[in-house]
């Protein structure tokens, strides 16, 4: 059985789904890897490195798509490549079914078996495949590092003979995987960290990392069975808004990470709230590509509003593509390994397996 992967559109995606290190794991399952020439060149990975680990390098993307039994990608392949896929082929990646509904219907009509990894259930057995966690972890770290670079003051408290520099105050909006990593990173660098989330269960996690959790008066636990945040009531949103607005008066850096799967990002930091912040402050909005948690966020732009910088990268992981690819490739291997019947050496789409059933696009 042959597994293939082609290059993404490098203008929007630098990550790859197959790394040299992971090829030997596929080979241990008697699975072959085929890749196009120059697959990892943009990451400084030569074709020779893939060949050394046992991959076969083909002339171009077309050959890979037409010869692979399973196609492993980061994102949904371009529509012009659909015709190169064959019936009963398997496509695995972050296919974003909420915004790619029409494109995926074309693939389903062509009898392509599509699996979208962001739909993985939050169960223990799926943790090693959880791409949302592995990628969000890096995103939370990088957002802190980048925002600190734009903040033109020292981060930790420094006591000198000339006087004391106070520690920077950081607010993390959303305490999921990205938010918790952001808290840990900011604390390690000496900042005073506050955090807010609609899930009360986050309070203990935030405090265990040294953050101060902002509790909305009379709040309820807004958490789905899958462990994600769910839509808050208007009353809760108003109370949260008042609490955050008051807090922002003393905050230097805000990291926004709040997302609801399959929906527009919740608007949390409104324009009038930004106006109470001090000039020189920084807002890094990780939710930019889904509409943003900040009202003034613009995708892939740095906005300067009254001296406050607002950053909104559409894909912050393009700044850490090697690390992100390594983790993603391992997640992908673990998913394929679960899908693969090792005894009969074939893919087994067993819909009684919750992982397979939840991730298959129907």
What are the pLDDT digits (tens) for 220-231? 555 555 555 556
Equal fold, 2-119+320-359 vs 136-318: yes
Distance CA 25, CA 326 (A): 13
- Options 3.90.45.10, 3.90.1170.40, 3.30.1330.60, 3.40.50.720; which CATH number does 136-318 get? 3.40.50.720
Question: Is residue 281 annotated as part of the catalytic site, yes or no?
Answer: no
Mean pLDDT to the nearest integer, 304-315: 96
pLDDT the model gives residue 232:
67
Q: Which pLDDT score, from 0 to 100, does residue 2 have?
A: 96
Would residue 323 show up in a list of annotated catalytic residues for this protein?
no
Active-site residue, 188 included: no
Kindly report, residue by residue over 58-84, the tens digit of the pLDDT: 999 999 999 999 999 999 999 999 999
Domain spanning 2-119+320-359 has what CATH number? 3.40.50.720
Confidence of residue 166 (pLDDT cuts 50, 70, 90): very high
The one catalytic residue among 150, 228, 337, 360? 228
Q: Identify whether 127 is a catalytic site residue.
A: yes
0.75 surpassed by pTM: yes
Catalytic residue among 73, 89, 116, 133: 133
Domain extents in the chain: 2-119+320-359, 136-318
């Amino acid at each position: 059985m042959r597994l293939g992967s082609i290059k993404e559109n490098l203008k929007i995606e630098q990550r790859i789904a197959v790394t040299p290190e992971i090829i030997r794991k596929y080979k241990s399952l008697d699975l072959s890897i085929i890749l196009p020439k120059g697959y990892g060149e943009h990451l400084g990975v030569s074709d020779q490195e893939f060949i050394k680990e046992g991959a076969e390098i083909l002339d171009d993307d077309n050959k890979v798509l037409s010869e692979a039994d399973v196609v492993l990608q980061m994102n949904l392949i371009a529509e012009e490549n659909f015709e190169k896929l064959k019936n009963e082929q398997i496509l695995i990646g972050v296919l974003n079914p909420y915004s790619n509904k029409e494109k995926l219907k074309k693939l389903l009509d062509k009898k392509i078996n599509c699996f979208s990894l962001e739909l993985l259930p939050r169960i223990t057995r799926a943790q090693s495949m959880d791409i949302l966690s592995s990628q969000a972890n890096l995103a939370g770290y990088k957002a802190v590092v980048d925002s600190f670079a734009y903040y033109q003051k020292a981060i930790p408290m420094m006591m000198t003979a000339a006087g004391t520099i106070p520690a920077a105050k950081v607010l993390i909006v959303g305490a999921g995987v990205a938010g918790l990593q952001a808290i840990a990173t900011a604390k390690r660098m000496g900042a005073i960290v506050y955090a807010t989330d609609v899930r009360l269960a986050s309070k203990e996690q935030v405090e265990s990392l040294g953050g101060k959790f902002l509790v909305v008066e009379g709040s309820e636990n807004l958490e789905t069975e899958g462990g994600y945040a769910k839509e808050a009531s208007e009353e809760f949103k108003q109370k949260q808004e008042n609490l955050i607005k008051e807090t922002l008066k003393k905050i230097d850096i805000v990291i926004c990470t709040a997302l609801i799967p399959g929906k527009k990002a919740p608007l949390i930091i409104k324009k009038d709230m930004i106006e109470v912040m001090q000039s020189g402050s920084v807002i890094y909005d990780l939710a930019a590509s889904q509409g943003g948690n900040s009202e003034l966020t613009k995708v892939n732009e740095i906005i300067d509003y009254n001296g406050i910088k607002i950053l909104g990268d559409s894909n912050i992981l393009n700044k850490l593509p090697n690390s992100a690819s390594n983790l993603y490739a391992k997640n992908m291997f673990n998913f394929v390994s679960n899908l693969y019947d090792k005894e009969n050496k074939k893919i087994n789409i067993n819909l009684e397996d919750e992982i397979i059933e939840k991730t298959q696009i129907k």
